[in-house]
Chain A
Amino acid sequence: MTPANDVLALEIDHLTVSYRDRPVLWDVDAHFPAGALSAIVGPNGSGKSTLLKAALGLVPADAGRVAILGGSSGSARSKVAYVPQRDAVDWDFPVTVREVVEMGRYRSVGWFRRVGRSQRAIVDDCLERVGMAPFAGRQIGQLSGGQRQRVFIARALAQQTELLVLDEPFAGVDARTEHAILGLLGELRDHGRSIVIVHHDLGTVRSTFDWVLVLNVRTVACGPIAETLTPENLRRAYGSDAVVAEEPEPAPWG
Chain B
Amino acid sequence: MTTLFSDDVTIILTAGLVATACAILGVFLVLRRVALMGDAVSHAVLPGIVAVFLLTESRAPFPMIVGAALFAILCVLAIEWLRGTGLLRADAAIGLVFPALFALGVLGIHRYAGNIHLDLDSTIYGEIAFAPFRTVEIGGVLVAQSLIISGAVAIVNLALVVLLWKELKATTFDPEFSKSVGLNPTWVSRMLLVAVSITAVTAFESVGAILVVALLIVPAAAAYLLTDRLWAMVAIAVGIGWISAVVGYTGAVQADASIAGAMGVTAAVLFGVALIASPKYGLLARRIALHRRRRATRPVAAQEG
Task: Specify which of A81, A82, A94, A115 is in contact with B166 (CB 8 Å cutoff).
Answer: A115
Complex contacts, A81 vs chain B, CB 8 Å: 180
**A77-B182, A88-B176, A90-B31 given as contacts; is B230 within 8 A of A106 (CB)?**
no
User: In the bound complex, do residue A107 and residue B172 qualify as a contact, i.e. CB atoms below 8 Å apart?
Assistant: no
| Residue among B170, B172, B173, B232 with the highest chain A CB neighbour number at 10 A | B173
User: In the bound complex, do residue A159 and residue B181 qualify as a contact, i.e. CB atoms below 8 Å apart?
Assistant: yes
Complex contacts, B169 vs chain A, CB 8 Å: 95, 99, 103
- How many chain A residues touch the partner (CB < 8 A)? 33
User: In the bound complex, do residue B173 and residue A77 qualify as a contact, i.e. CB atoms below 8 Å apart?
Assistant: no
User: In the bound complex, do residue B173 and residue A89 qualify as a contact, i.e. CB atoms below 8 Å apart?
Assistant: yes
Complex contacts, B173 vs chain A, CB 8 Å: 89-90, 93, 95, 100, 103, 140
**A93-B31, A111-B167, A112-B163 given as contacts; is B174 within 8 A of A103 (CB)?**
yes
Complex contacts, A102 vs chain B, CB 8 Å: 166
Complex contacts, B304 vs chain A, CB 8 Å: none
The answer to whether the Cβ of B233 comes within 8 Å of any Cβ in the partner chain is yes
Complex contacts, A115 vs chain B, CB 8 Å: 166
User: In the bound complex, do residue B229 and residue A94 qualify as a contact, i.e. CB atoms below 8 Å apart?
Assistant: yes
Complex Cα distance, B169 from A80, in Å, reads 21
Complex contacts, B178 vs chain A, CB 8 Å: 103, 106
Once A and B bind, how many residue pairs between them come within 8 Å at the CB atom?
Answer: 76
Question: Which residue of B is nearest A104, CB measured?
Answer: B181
Complex contacts, B224 vs chain A, CB 8 Å: 94
Question: Which residue of A is nearest B179, CB measured?
Answer: A58
Complex Cα distance, B170 from A115, in Å, reads 13
Complex Cα distance, B165 from A111, in Å, reads 10
Task: Specify which of B163, B164, B166 is in contact with A103 (CB 8 Å cutoff).
Answer: B166
Complex contacts, A106 vs chain B, CB 8 Å: 166-167, 170, 178, 181, 183
Task: Specify which of B167, B182, B227, B230 is in contact with A78 (CB 8 Å cutoff).
Answer: B182
The answer to whether the Cβ of A251 comes within 8 Å of any Cβ in the partner chain is no
Task: Specify which of B164, B174, B183, B230 is in contact with A88 (CB 8 Å cutoff).
Answer: B174
Top 9 nearest A-B pairs (CB, nearest first) are A82-B180, A84-B176, A139-B228, A107-B181, A93-B173, A94-B230, A88-B176, A103-B170, A112-B163
User: Could you jot down 11 A-B contacts, CB within 8 Å?
Assistant: A80-B180, A82-B177, A88-B175, A93-B230, A94-B228, A94-B230, A99-B230, A103-B170, A106-B181, A111-B164, A115-B166
